[in-house]
Amino acid sequence: MKESWRWFGPLDTISLGEVAQTGARGVVTSLHDIPYGEVWTVEAIRERQAQIEGNASLGLTWNVVESLPVHEDIKRGRGDLSRLFANYRQSLVNLASCGIHTVCYNFMPVLDWLRTHHDTPVRGGGRALYFDEATMAGFELGILGRESAAEDYAPDAIERGLEWVAQATDADKDALLDRLMAGLPGAYDRFTVNGLRDVLTTYAGFTNTDLRASFSRFLAEIVPVAEELGIRMCVHPDDPPRPVFGLPRVVSTAGDVDWILAQDDSLANGVTFCSGALGARADNDILKMARRFAPRTHFLHLRNVAKAPDGSFGEAAHLEGDTDMVALLRIWLGEEARRRDEGRVDWDLPFRPDHGHELGPDVGRAAHPGYPFVGRLRGLAELRGVLAALEAPRHHRP
């Protein structure tokens, strides 16, 4: 399996030298400064490649794009989308011409991943990401003023959330909004409360059926070109895998993934298997889903979560939490062996340790939330150790 590391380009407080120190050799990144919907030019792609690969002593390569963003109008299915689809296809052509063939993307409306807390204490003074149902209910009802959110939360979560809002200062509320916006990568503007209300009105009455129709059109427009180019498109699951802000979610369950893969049976239409995002939903059987979707999985996000009965969840250490990571890695090694036996050139699955705890010198370093250095290094080391142990019998047979 190809050890990889997410790097946020020049915006990242973690240097490429430090990335190389982790032992990872693949770099997962994006061109965050290019507005959504615009073409990624060959020049821009090569400039980023030169940053990553220019120092040969580091031994790094840009092996996965995360993400090539899907413009919001494509998700809404609104207006003349021909230019946006053409630009997306041209970006894929340009990436392939530069030797990059794995492209992660998501189809979540408005926001990327979402957490209510970034500094939940863990053993010894570290800090972790957390999604708290009550805080989210309080934000939606007491700050955003989305009255229909009362249908989305349990009465106890609503009560606790509104109690928090009642005693929170303006600074507390602003800090919560900042945390909710942190999943938007790169240099893009974050929403104010009024701005978030405005953008949500553009999805008023928009259902899962509507979003699936937009997604189906996207796949029809993009997958044939990706297949010609040898590109593996891999959609990332919703995070959290449930509706938020009344927005539809269509990449949250096994049934959702079945539907996506059925739209086009090409290997170019695949999945980013995120064990943390999918694992945050109580009715998702992670090991069963991994076995089921392994043949169409092209990229792995490996992390663990610990779920609470009310739907809240926190980022656990990679070998802790609710998912049996050893069993999961055994599935991916088996899939790699199957691909090798078939003679496939893409058998070596890229993976990255996803979301880590802030540990030791991470605290105060101002890394992108969820992407500290030491915490992810711990996760990668743990995953590497499990993989070495699982592969040992194969390498040491008499």
Active site residue ranges: 236, 274, 301, 354-355, 371
Other C-beta atoms lying within 10 Å of the C-beta of residue 391: 14
Dihedral of CA atoms 326, 328, 332, 335 in degrees, nearest 10, equals 120
Q: How many CB atoms lie within 10 A of CB 355?
A: 28
- How are beta strands 102-106 and 61-66 bridged, if at all? parallel
Token output for 330: 């055994």
User: What b/e readout covers 130-160, taking b as 16+ CB neighbours within 10 angstroms?
Assistant: bbbbbbbbbbbbbbbebeebeebbeeebbeb
The set of long-range contacts for 148-156, using a CB threshold of 8 Å and a minimum separation of 24, is 148/246, 149/245, 149/246, 152/243, 152/246, 154/310, 154/311, 156/310
Nearest-CA neighbor of 2 among 27, 38, 37, 21?
27
Distance CA 351, CA 3 (A): 6
The answer to whether the CB of 303 falls within 8 A of the CB of 353 is yes
Pick from 246, 237, 280: nearest CA to 130? 280
Q: Do 284 and 258 contact (CB within 8 A), yes or no?
A: no
Taken in order 362, 364, 370, 372, the sign of the CA dihedral is: negative
- Residue 352 pairs in a beta bridge with 301
Question: What radius of gyration do the chain's Cα atoms show?
Answer: 21
